[in-house]
Every structure is written in structure tokens, then in C-alpha cells.
Structure 1
Amino acid sequence: MQATVPTWPYVIQTISVVVAAVSFLVGINAWRRTEIGKKKIELAVHTLAAFREIEQAFSEIRSPMSYSNEGLSRQAVEGESEQDAELRRRAFVAIERINNRSAKFMAAQSLRYQLEAYFGVEVIERPFQRMLELRGKIIGAANRLEHSWRQQGHQFRTEEQFTQHLERMHSAEAVFWEDSADPDPIKPQVAEMMADITMLCREVIEPSHNIAIWFSRRWFEFRRFWLCK
């Protein structure tokens, strides 16, 4: 007579193995999510700190206060007069300040590719693009002022030409010097850059499911979409 093989012990053993395997996988996934979450928070903190330094850097670069030893790293133009050299030096001050803070811009830019890996290009592109655009605007204003300031003592053929010259010069000075115009053309763009990056980083550092924050985020994206059209 054939012996009956007990079934339930094997069934229970099999179930135990399956449960253990599932628990292991769930634990691994939970650990993985936790580690990724930690890395995201750390990256968000570093990014926010880097952009705070960029915000401060723009204010320092555009400061109307300057010293006689600033702008001396400019390469002299052969045959230039002392007056032209001085005007060129003054215009070069902002560019020299940018060069002296290049490490801050590079540090912020280096975080861009890490952020892209976690959040995607579309989400993080705007504040980084704005940072580079603002830096370019200040450099462009400095280059225009080098020419405009040297034209100040020249005669213009018509009153219209002189008026256009003043408009170009004052427009460049508004970008070059902080608060030299009302409203300041650069400050709102810096504020918008900081609002973009702060919203992204804060949602990672301090996640919230508050409905008001959710609607605020959707409204911000809706407004940005229509302003860009």
C-alpha cells in the first residue's frame, strides 16, 4: 500500500518561501526609494544654495559702487588715449566681476545635469536658461557702454541721433547698474529665476499634498505657458 505524502507542510513551506521573497523585494524597493529620496533632497538643497549665491552674485556684479583697481584685467587697446582707457576700464568692471565669480556659475551649471536625470529637461531648463541669459545681458550692456561712453564727447549730426544715443546708453546703464532705472529691468528676471528654482527644490525638500500648493503649482505652469506663447 502506497504511503500518503503529507501535502500541507509542503504548501506552507512554499507559501513561506514566496512570502519571504516578496518581502525581500518590497524591502529592497522601499530602501531604493528611500535612497533616491535622500539623494533628491540633498541635490535640491545644494541647488537652492547655489542659486542663492547666483542671486547675490548678480547684485554684486551690478553694484554701482566700484573701485579704481577694478577693471584692470582688461586687455589694453594699442594706441588708446588715457580717457578712452579709463572709460573702457569702467565698462569692463562688470565683466571682470563676472569672471571673478565664474566658479559660482560653474557650480550651479554643474548641478543642471544631475537635476535633469531626476526631474527631466523641461522641468529644470527655465531657471538655468534664465541665469545664462541674465549674465549675457550684463556682458552685452558692458560692451555697449564701452562704445556709448566714448561717444559722449562727440558731436552728432542731428538731434535725433543724439536722442537715440542717449536712449541706447541709458538702456545699457539700466542693465549695467542695479537700481539705476525705475523699474529695474534685471531684478524681476532674477526674482523669477529664483521663484522657479525655489518651487522645484521646495517641493522635494518639503513635500506637501496640500491642495492649495497643488493649485498654486498648476496656476504657475498655466501662467508660464501662456506668457511664453
Structure 2
Amino acid sequence: MFKNKEAFYKSKEWLSFREIFISDMTDAVTGDVYCSHCHKVILNKNDLIVHHKIELTDENVNDYNISLNPDNVEIICFNCHNKHHRRFGYENKKNVYLVWGAPCSGKSTWVNSVAQPNDLIVDMDSIYEMISINKRYTKPNGLKGIAFDIRDMLYDVVKYRRGKWTNAFVIGGYPMKGERERLLQKLNAESKHIEATKEECVERLYISKDRDINEWTKYIDDWFEYYQE
């Protein structure tokens, strides 16, 4: 028995069901997975969502004819998922996503690929870049307090849903489970983990031209050392 849908989505039953369903829906020849709504190939695994046709709620989460029924789920891409939930009475809902993962895992790249002009982005790298003449990823200690004050102000904007933005994307590392869960609860946000192996992050670091190799190698090592699922 699951106490709510959040517990269900973290369960072994759902994760196993999801993996098998994705495998069944993968084209055996090309290895491609298609969105059921726009019918385009989902190129980025972080865009792939296994969506319940009959909405999953805390009340029906233990009805396996709804929660674990292959006929009640479909694969859709992130953008189609958002469009779906903008209809059917959700037009004015402000969605918030905590986008987290290792350094160089592709968090900002993913957000840039899905965000729309009316969306709000909260990102420490962008804040430091905005308030100084420094290049991106340069974070002087003298500006640290101001940068965090701006971030906290934006957190309040997101928390209380102030303004006329549509979606908010809060970007950060957040390797510690407790820190993530506190922020998810504070902002009433959905978790969006941008998954990447340590080797993939290091490979992207060496391709990057705007990061210090030694400094960011340490950031990557530290993240994977402290990471908690």
C-alpha cells in the first residue's frame, strides 16, 4: 500500500514497470522512442515521461488498474506533457521544476531546450554572470552574499507564485537527498533529475571552453562522493 502518489513514483514497483514499458515501446530496429502526442522521436532521455492517461491521485494510487496498467500509460515528451496539463482546468497553474544533477550533467542545456519565453529560470551561474563583468562560472567570494540574496528573493517569488510567469526552473546540484526534499517541499516543486555518469560529466568538462578543468573536476568528484538517491 502506498500512502500517496509521491511514494508510488519512488517505489520499486513503478520504476520496474516504467523500465519495462519503455523497453516495450522502443522501436526494435532503430532503438527510437516516440512521443504519443507529437509523434516525434524523443532524443533526450530526460524528456521522456511515462504519463498516466487517467490521472494518478492519492485516492487511486493503490488501484493497480490505474497505477500499474499498461493500457493506462503512454510515453510523451516533456513539452507535450506540459501542454497536456495546461488544458483540462490547469490553464493558470504555475509549474515549478527543481532541475538537479552533477556538474556538467547538462542541466542548463536541458532547461534551454524546453523552457519557453514566459518561463522563470533560477540559476546561480546566471545570477553571478548578471551582477558582474566576469565570465560565466566565475564566482568571486565578494559577490557571494549578494548572489545568494538574489537567489533567495527569487525562491520567494517561486514559492508564493508571484508574477505572471508560466513555468519556473530552479537549477542546482543538490546531491544530498535531505536538501533536495526540503527545497521541493518549500517550493512545491517537481523533481527533475538530469542523469549522467561521472565519466560523461568529465567528458563534457573537457569539451567545454569556459570552465577551469582542475576546479570543475573537483566539483564533479565532490558531487558524486556526496550524492544520495
Range into which the TM-score falls when normalised by the shorter chain? under 0.3
Larger strand percent: 2
Q: Bigger relative contact order, structure 1 or 2, given CA contacts below 8 A and separation 6+?
A: 1
Higher alpha-carbon Rg: 1
The structure carrying a bigger helix percent of its residues is 1
Q: TM-score, normalised by structure 1?
A: 0.23
